[in-house]
Amino acid sequence: MSPDETTHASRKLEHLRINLQENVQFRQSNGLERYRFVHQALPEINQNEISLATTFFGKPLRAPILISSMTGGAYEAERINLALATAAQTTGVAMGLGSQRAAIENDALAYTYQVRRVAPDILLFANLGAIQLNYTYTIDECRRAVEMIRADALILHLNAIQEAVQAGGNTNWKGLLQKIEQVCRALDVPVIGKEVGFGISEDAARQLASAGVAALDIAGAGGTSWAAVEAYRAPSSFLRELAEAFWDWGIPTAESLIRARRGAPNLPLIASGGIRDGVQAAQCIALGAGLVGYASPMLRLADRGVEDVIAGIKMVEEQMRTAMFGIGAENLDALKNTKHLEKV
């Protein structure tokens, strides 16, 4: 393994450790407390008949839940990914993998991402950092990422602030949009534009839509702050102070969801960023999301084992159903078109 590959693998382990052991959550909220469902005392539906079923990229899901991209590229990451994938297969929800750069640069690490043996049927997303297209990566690496895990789509994640506050970050973002467009045209699977936790603005959503992405994961502020993670990783007091200044940088999830919908009115949206329960998930669907992503809560559950992840997903589903019951929405279409969500 080359020094660069060793550094990348150790970084993955650091990210896992920091996310599991340190408080790296935004100090600002995800903005969903500014919205409230208006309770309906007479819902006129049977709670037992409420359906969470949906489709995304033509693939059926039992619930609009995504286990968001988190990890891979290190031995311990395999255990986490297999637990998450097994739970996704059992519950019929979608899953994304962490950045596959480590395995692109060292084939021996591919096994830490390969979850199809336990999850043959799930909607599965491959993942690479979009910025790598401005350095050495081409469409070939994008294809390899998809083929490596037999993915249904490719996430190109956007992490400009994280790169800017870390040692040796990749900060030449000139001309990147054109390269994203080339990938969208060349790949046989859909491409998802995804933030990592700082939110997508109206302008960025419009740019990505024009480039041909098939969906957006807005990943707003309010959950894990990757500037905070980099503050914990910083090798110097200078970089630590720089990263800490951006701990709360970003567009809160609720606001980003609305802005992205204005910028890309025809694209499916994935809401993520500090979503902690099924009531908030239902709010996101009512605000225009097609899927709702969970990262940090699922990581902590996966660290304990598969059964805990399954129980966590089932709790989110039941919370969603109960919220829908409380406003008389018998399916996701009714939830998306509800008149019973108000800003407070």
Q: Say how far residue 194 (Cα) sits from the centre of its chain.
A: 7
The C-alpha atoms of residue 63 and residue 323 are separated, in whole angstroms, by 14
Q: Is 288 exposed, middle or buried (0-12, 13-18, 19+ CB in 10 A)?
A: middle
Regions of the chain where pLDDT drops below 50: 1-6
Distance (Å) of CA 318 to CA 136, 279, 313: 45, 9, 9
- Whether the Cβ atoms of residue 226 and residue 162 lie closer than 8 Å to each other: yes
Return the axis-axis angle of helices 3-21 and 296-304, rounded to nearest 10°. Answer: 90
Distance (Å) of CA 39 to CA 35, 77, 132, 234: 13, 42, 47, 47
Provide φ and ψ at 65, rounded to 5°.
-115, 135
Pairing status of strand 341-343 against strand 35-37: antiparallel
Check residue 262 and give its pLDDT.
98
Q: Which amino acid is at 314?
A: K
Report the chain's C-alpha Rg in angstroms: 19
- Whether the Cβ atoms of residue 12 and residue 73 lie closer than 8 Å to each other: yes
Check residue 5 and give its pLDDT.
45
- Whether the Cβ atoms of residue 219 and residue 199 lie closer than 8 Å to each other: yes
The C-alpha atoms of residue 15 and residue 80 are separated, in whole angstroms, by 13
Check residue 7 and give its pLDDT.
56
The C-alpha atoms of residue 4 and residue 16 are separated, in whole angstroms, by 19
pTM: 0.94
Residue 333 CB contacts under 8 Å (≥ 6 apart), including other chains? none
The C-alpha atoms of residue 110 and residue 102 are separated, in whole angstroms, by 8
Check residue 2 and give its pLDDT.
46
- Whether the Cβ atoms of residue 71 and residue 98 lie closer than 8 Å to each other: yes
Ordered domains of the chain (ranges, CATH): 3-29+59-312 (3.20.20.70)
* pLDDT tens track for 68-85: 999 999 888 999 999 999
CA dihedral for 59, 271, 320, 222, sign (positive or negative): positive
The structure tokens listed for 22 are: 């340190």
Say which residue the tokens 């309906």 belong to. Answer: 40
Check residue 170 and give its pLDDT.
97
The C-alpha atoms of residue 190 and residue 223 are separated, in whole angstroms, by 26
Beta-bridge partner residues of 67: 95, 294
- Nearest CA to 209 out of 188, 174, 181, 173 is that of 181
Q: Say how far residue 132 (Cα) sits from the centre of its chain.
A: 19
Provide φ and ψ at 283, rounded to 5°.
-60, -45
The structure tokens listed for 36 are: 């409230």
Could you tell me where the beta strands, DSSP code E, fall in 181-298? 191-195, 215-217, 269-271, 291-294
- Whether the Cβ atoms of residue 223 and residue 274 lie closer than 8 Å to each other: yes
3-state secondary structure of 157: strand
